[in-house]
């Protein structure tokens, strides 16, 4: 089983914000892969199905960004689930411009509170992560206000236009693993 955990915040007031670009990708994955509807299971919305013969789950933690790890803790108890190979985290990234993304096999939280929560809950930094660019905050702006605001139309278009490529990248990760996905996807012009 492969799990794609896309971080964001529940509630319609957050649906168009920079912090929820992971959920934008989650919705696109579920639609493109025909996984059906998200169902609530405790503190996570999950869509389950198969992609290219592999069992997949697309998850949206419902715990708010800063407590995302709580929704992923149960994965530690799933037998034969290898966090380093079978889990992909998707988050927003202020260090990348809109229309850009970066896929890595592991790494630090880089100041991202959602990733900090996941690392604390899982007890490791050794899991793949896909960071979707939302652009840097303007000088003097508050970071929390920045990520909890909606991007302007042109930035939103850049992010939405990137989603088909990201669906392909996640698909490569599911079928061929992180190295193949990084080799293919990190060479792309916009990824």
3-state secondary structure 26-58: HHHHHHHCCCCCCEEECCEEEEEEEECCEEEEE
Structure tokens at 97: 């411009």
Q: Where are the alpha helices (DSSP H) in the chain?
A: 21-32, 68-72, 83-86, 113-122, 143-147, 153-176, 178-185
Which residues contact residue 122 at a Cβ distance below 8 angstroms, ignoring those fewer than 6 apart? 69, 72, 73, 75, 76, 83
Structure tokens at 34: 């025909």
Indicate the SS3 state at residue 187.
coil
Active site members: 19
CA 105 to chain centre: 13
Q: Which residue has the tokens 């992010």?
A: 159
């Amino acid at each position: 089983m492969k799990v794609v955990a896309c971080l964001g915040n529940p509630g319609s007031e957050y649906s168009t914000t920079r912090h929820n670009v992971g959920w934008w990708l989650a919705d696109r994955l579920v639609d493109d892969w025909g996984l059906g509807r998200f169902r609530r299971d405790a503190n996570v919305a999950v869509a389950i199905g198969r992609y290219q013969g592999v069992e997949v789950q697309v998850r949206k933690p419902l715990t708010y960004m800063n407590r995302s790890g709580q929704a992923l803790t149960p994965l530690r108890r799933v037998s034969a689930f290898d966090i380093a190979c079978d889990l992909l985290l998707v988050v927003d990234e202020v260090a990348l411009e809109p229309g850009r993304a970066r896929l890595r096999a592991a790494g630090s939280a880089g100041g991202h509170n959602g990733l900090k929560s996941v690392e604390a809950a899982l007890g490791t930094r050794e899991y793949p992560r896909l960071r979707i660019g939302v652009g840097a905050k303007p000088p003097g702006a508050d970071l929390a206000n920045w990520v909890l605001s909606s991007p302007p139309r042109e930035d939103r278009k850049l992010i939405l236009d990137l989603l088909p490529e990201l669906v392909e990248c996640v698909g490569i990760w599911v079928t061929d693993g992180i190295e193949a996905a990084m080799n293919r996807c990190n060479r792309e012009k916009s990824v």
